[in-house]
Amino acid sequence: MTSAKDDKIVGLGLISGGLDSLIASLLIKLQNIEVVGLNFRSPFCLCDKAYRNAECGLNLYHQKLNIKTHFLQKEDDYLEIVRNPKFGYGKNMNPCIDCRIYILKKAKKYAEEINADFIFTGEVLDQRPKSQNLKALKIVEEESRLQGKLVRPLSAKLLKPTIYEEQGLIDRTKLLGIRGRSRKIQLDLARKHNLLNEYYACGGCLLTDISFSSRMRDFFRHTKNPKMEDISILKFGRHFRYKNSKIIVGRNEIENNFLIGCTKDSDIILEAKDTVGPITVIRGDINDDIIKFAAKLTLNYSDLKEPSGKIICRYYNSNINSELIVDKGNIEILKTYIL
């Protein structure tokens, strides 16, 4: 890769919005190297919540380091990585090594498009037991065809020099040798350079969550052609699998609004009349038995107090607008279908 910017060295950094990629960018910027940020977005990512202070998120890179960040979406092909990762899962359905390879392959292509000289990340040796041990770091380099070319500024002194360090493009002596989970060094540097005062670790990946992983497994079992656009609805509400239908019951007004925003034309929306309660979405096969089951769930999670009371439920989509009278049924039996 060669830069087209009058001999100005350009590094493309994988930017999550977290502390590690922030300090990795700082270390590269301090060498008078231009940094371009690249952030990958997907319904699984919670990384945009990485800061709680006013100088938050990806805006910090622009405000403090004058780094412009570009965005790419993980596309439908990423779902095959989640379904069948070559290098396996972490604790739940998180395909961390395969995910890293996927991202770096796309980053490599993007770096060529913008004539960046090298790619760097905020990875720290042994910070994550599965995806950031020495063996995993080497696998990621090999599979993404970046052997000897992937710069990891935070742990560089513990790793074999990249060709850019050997060529003097990057000063290895100004890089770090961090190992493990502690972020004390990173936070000290952030404070020293007035980037932020406090860091609150949060965010991450939904695929590490046991409950969300259960929903993903169910999604793959019942979806022939999975699409990224189908993932967002898995993040909200209580999920039930009844026969060949997915039934999702909102927990509060915010989730109710999200569920309505995630519906497809073929979905059925169901709500109780004359009582405060959830929005329920039915996706998949639709018949009277399934609608009745969903209506009972809706009543059980509504404000209806009478244990044996009956109430009207309305169900509708762009082609249907109807009602039925239903009782609450046995909640313990209904809960056996929860995911």
Amino acid sitting at position 200:
Y
What pLDDT is attached to residue 16? 84
What pLDDT is attached to residue 305? 77
- pLDDT tens digits along 155-194: 999 999 999 999 999 999 999 999 999 999 999 999 999 9
User: CB of 150 within 8 A of CB of 144?
Assistant: yes
> Mean pLDDT throughout 35-39?
95
CA distance 223 to 228: 12
What pTM was computed for the model?
0.88
| 1 pLDDT higher than 70 | no
Instruction: Judge: domain 10-192, CATH 3.30.420.
Output: no
Tell me whether residue 328 is exposed, middle or buried, using C-beta atoms within 10 angstroms of its C-beta: 0 to 12, 13 to 18, 19 or more. Answer: buried
| 48 pLDDT higher than 70 | no
Instruction: Work out the mean pLDDT of the chain and round it to a whole number.
Output: 90
- pLDDT tens digits along 234-257: 999 999 999 999 999 999 999 999
- pLDDT tens digits along 85-107: 999 999 999 999 999 999 999 99
- pLDDT tens digits along 273-325: 988 999 999 999 999 999 999 999 999 999 887 766 788 999 999 899 999 99
Domain-wise residue ranges, the chain: 10-192, 236-337
| 46 pLDDT higher than 90 | no
> ∠ CA 97-98-101 to the nearest 5 degrees?
90
Amino acid sitting at position 101:
I
What pLDDT is attached to residue 36? 96
What pLDDT is attached to residue 110? 98
What pLDDT is attached to residue 199? 67
What pLDDT is attached to residue 4? 45
Q: pLDDT band for position 196 (50/70/90)?
A: confident
| 126 pLDDT higher than 50 | yes
